[in-house]
Amino acid sequence: MNIFNQTGRYFALLLRVFSKPEKHSLYVRQTFNEIENLGVNSVGIVAVISIFMGGIMTLQVAYNMTNPLLPNYIIGLGNRDTLILEFSSTILGLIMAGKIGSNITSEIGSMKVTEQIDSLEIMGVNSAGYLILPKIIAVVLMFPLLYILSVFFGIIGGMIVGPAVGAVSLTDYLNGIQYAFNPYYVTFSIIKCLVFGFLIASVSAFFGYTVEGGAFDVGTASTRAVVNTNILILVWDLILTQLLL
Amino acid sequence: MIEIKNIYKSFEQKEVLRNISKVFNEGETNLIIGRSGSGKTVLLKSIVGLHEIDSGQILYDNRDFTSMNQKLRKKLRQEIGMVFQGGALFDSMTVEENVRFPLDMFSSLSTVEKQKQVDFCLERVNILDANKLSPSEISGGMKKRVAIARAIVMNPKYLFCDEPNSGLDPETSLVIDELIHSITVDLQITTIINTHDMNSVMEIGDNILFISEGEMCWEGNRKEILFSDNQKLQEFVFANKQYQKIRDDKIEGK
């Protein structure tokens, strides 16, 4: 029964989030702040993770390709398609649920337990809309951009590591990443990113907004937010893959 | 003027407030006093609508708050200022931004006019020189002052303070009490303060409601409180022996 109760409260909160803003200019300003805080500030970690992800994926494909009849450019192709289809969207989504999601839950949760949210309500501000809507817009807008960056850095990672350890030549790798490119894969993954971005921001905000108690409860809520967001990302990954591919 | 009539409030099976009625006048500092856990904060939060009451009526200048829809409540809340126990300042903003926030959100004043109003309020609470600091850089007493400045920046008709002296030293408490009292009198607003600080009661208690275990036990003013024969009130007031002595001295005409 608890899951139905939680789901009902989540959608009730979303109704408040998407109600008419009191002052558009303040919401826009807040959205730009969140784009910087949640999106731009994540570029570094996305770049690092993606370079390693691409490098490791290149090595894995190379070491598992024991059949001499398979051309070497498959290594670059395998890295590219894995990044485009799954790693730079889903794996990055899971990582971002940890970074951005816990940030959102702990920020809103702390505001809740220190009565800052009550303070907004007393002023006549729709606290759910003012605090959550800019975060949702920021993450939904930024996630596809982070995805594109991730693909780019992942391919660069493979390009550095593959030739460096002798797993694949630079020419074969470059041939592979250009071979049989299907643009729909990118479209499909960008759709996934929009959904994942919405899930990360809204589910994490829900757990923060509904927290009660003190600092310990904010920590617990952050953990629950990350776990639930991760599960939802995987479920939606399955659904979207079945529907769109 | 705020009038509450027959307020009942419970959380799940536990009844926290029972049949509380009271008129809070404008231009007076109205105090709700009682022990910790007596239901003071629940009553205050019920009056401002942060808790929904089970039954009863809350009237803001004869406007029935309990029957208002969310839209009307939001509008009424722009006439309310509230000082929370911990200050509830926004961490991500400076002192000045905190005070300006309600103006940014609801007023149509120009930037210069807003700045003038913010400076006026910060000066009123004597903290203008801390305007660029963030809440984490100021003391507890300063936070309370900033919270008061933010609460009065929209020129509210109603001011609510939840234990404004908690965690403050006696001298700062006195300053905060005097500040709230002078704002109430100068602006002729209806102020309701939650407190269990007897010094505040004796300093600024124009109109006092004493509640115990969720029930209204006594009402009066600071001149009457020492001489009440209400058993529960006596236990509360004379827990501090100083007030027992003051009463005895007054009775003996010293």
Helix (H) or strand (E) holding B31: strand B29-33
**Residues in A touching B82 (Cβ below 8 Å):** 119, 122
Min distance A124 CA to chain B CA atoms (Å)? 5
Q: Which one of B52, B93, B105 makes the best mutation probe of the A interface by having the most chain A beta carbons within 10 Å?
A: B105
Q: Which of these, A79, A97, A73, lies nearest to A172 by C-alpha position?
A: A73
> What is the token pair recorded at B106?
């609801």
Tell me which chain A residue has its CA closest to the CA of residue B71. Answer: A124
Residue type, position A151, single letter:
V
Q: Does A239 touch chain B (CB under 8 A)?
A: no
Answer whether B170's CB lies under 8 Å from B158's CB. no
Q: Kindly state the average pLDDT of the residues B136-154.
A: 92
Contact B88 A121 (CB under 8 A): no
Please indicate, yes or no, if residue B5 is contained in any of the structural domains.
Answer: no
How many domains does the structure of chain B reveal? 1
Helix (H) or strand (E) holding A159: helix A127-165
Predicted local confidence at residue A1, as pLDDT: 62
Q: Kindly state the average pLDDT of the residues A12-37.
A: 94
Tell me which chain A residue has its CA closest to the CA of residue B152. Answer: A123
**Cα B129 from Cα B122, distance rounded (Å):** 9
**Cα B226 from Cα B243, distance rounded (Å):** 7
Q: Does A123 touch chain B (CB under 8 A)?
A: yes
Tell me which chain A residue has its CA closest to the CA of residue B47. Answer: A122
Q: Kindly state the average pLDDT of the residues B207-212.
A: 94
**Residues in B touching A124 (Cβ below 8 Å):** 74-78, 80, 105-106
Q: Does A125 touch chain B (CB under 8 A)?
A: yes
Contact A124 B75 (CB under 8 A): yes
Q: Does B105 touch chain A (CB under 8 A)?
A: yes
- Confidence bin at B197 (pLDDT 50/70/90): confident
Residue type, position B15, single letter:
E
**Cα A225 from Cα A230, distance rounded (Å):** 8
**Cα B1 from Cα B190, distance rounded (Å):** 6
What is the domain range of residue B150?
Answer: 93-155
Contact A115 B77 (CB under 8 A): no
Predicted local confidence at residue B252, as pLDDT: 77
Query: Which residues touch B5 (CB under 8 Å, ≥6 apart)?
Result: B21, B56, B57, B58, B59
Q: Kindly state the average pLDDT of the residues A214-223.
A: 95
From B80, B82, B105, residue closest to A26, measured CB to CB: B105
Q: How many CA atoms lie within 13 A of A102 on its CB side?
A: 14
Tell me which chain A residue has its CA closest to the CA of residue B46. Answer: A122
Give residue-wise pLDDT tens across range B157-195.
999 999 998 888 888 888 889 989 999 999 899 999 999
- Residue B207 β-bridge partners: B30
Q: Where are the domains of chain A?
A: 24-244
The least confident of A39-43, A51-55, A230-234, B167-171 is: B167-171
Q: Any alpha helices (H) in A65-126, and if so which ranges?
A: 73-82, 92-96, 102-113, 116-123
Strands B190-195 and B207-212, bridge-based pairing: unpaired
ipTM: 0.88
Give residue-wise pLDDT tens across range A170-196.
999 999 999 999 999 999 999 999 999
Contact B77 A124 (CB under 8 A): yes
The mean predicted confidence, pLDDT, of chain A is 95
Residue type, position B53, single letter:
I
CA dihedral B52, B55, B59, B65 (to 10 degrees): 40
High-pLDDT (> 90) share of chain B, %: 63
Contact A118 B84 (CB under 8 A): yes
Q: Does A20 touch chain B (CB under 8 A)?
A: no
CA distances to A119, B8, B36, B179 from B11, rounded to whole Å, are: 22, 11, 17, 35
Predicted local confidence at residue B254, as pLDDT: 63
Please indicate, yes or no, if residue B125 is contained in any of the structural domains.
Answer: yes
Answer whether B240's CB lies under 8 Å from B198's CB. yes
DSSP A224-242: HHHHHHHHHHHHHHHHHHH
Helix (H) or strand (E) holding B105: helix B95-106
Residues in chain B: 254
The least confident of A20-29, A80-89, A214-223, B231-240 is: B231-240
Provide the angle, in degrees to the nearest 10, between the axes of the packed helices B70-77 and A116-123: 100
Q: Which of these, A117, A115, A110, lies nearest to A217 by C-alpha position?
A: A110
Specify the pTM: 0.89
User: Does residue B13 have a pLDDT over 90?
Assistant: no
For the beta carbon of residue A73, count every other beta carbon within 10 angstroms.
20
Kindly tell me the sign of the dihedral angle through the C-alpha atoms of A111, A116, A118, A123.
negative
Contact A118 B86 (CB under 8 A): no
User: Does residue B110 have a pLDDT over 90?
Assistant: yes
**Residues in A touching B75 (Cβ below 8 Å):** 124
- Residue B24 β-bridge partners: B2
Strands B63-64 and B55-60, bridge-based pairing: antiparallel
The CA-based angle A19-A23-A24, given to 5 degrees, is: 80
Q: Kindly state the average pLDDT of the residues B205-219.
A: 93
Predicted local confidence at residue B240, as pLDDT: 79
3-state helix, strand, coil in chain B (%, to 5): 45, 25, 35
Min distance A107 CA to chain B CA atoms (Å)? 10
Q: Does A124 touch chain B (CB under 8 A)?
A: yes
Q: Kindly state the average pLDDT of the residues B29-34.
A: 94
Contact A115 B101 (CB under 8 A): no
Q: Does A26 touch chain B (CB under 8 A)?
A: yes
A residues 156-175 near B, CB within 8 Å? none
Q: Highest mean pLDDT range out of A51-55, B73-77, B239-243?
A: A51-55
**Residues in B touching A129 (Cβ below 8 Å):** none
Q: Kindly state the average pLDDT of the residues A24-42.
A: 94
**Cα B194 from Cα B31, distance rounded (Å):** 6
- Residue B2 β-bridge partners: B24, B60
